[in-house]
Amino acid sequence: MLRHEFQPGRLVAGVVLLLTGVLYAGDARGAWEIPWFTLIPVVTGGLFLAGALGVLARLIRRRDEPGARTEDGYR
């Protein structure tokens, strides 16, 4: 049994921000060269994807709840 519910939006947000940190660290150490403006779309796109997954997961979870209401308000 899980101790908490799975939240894919938070997972994606964490992975994207971790990737951003790794890219910055690699650039700082001289392992590779990336332009400064490259990371803005990576972070923005990743957070947008995380938000969309969070909303989608909430919609799916809400539909599976035992007391969930239908569109007309009746079961």
What is the pLDDT tens value at each position of the chain, 75 positions in all? 668 888 899 999 999 999 999 999 999 999 999 998 998 999 999 999 999 999 999 998 887 766 656 665 555
Residue 51: per-residue pLDDT: 96
CA distance 63 to 73: 13
Quick one: which of 75, 2, 15, 9 has its CA closest to 48?
9
Q: Which helix (H) or strand (E) holds 34?
A: none
| Full-model pTM | 0.74
Residue 44 identity: T
Residue 15: per-residue pLDDT: 96
Residue 65: per-residue pLDDT: 67
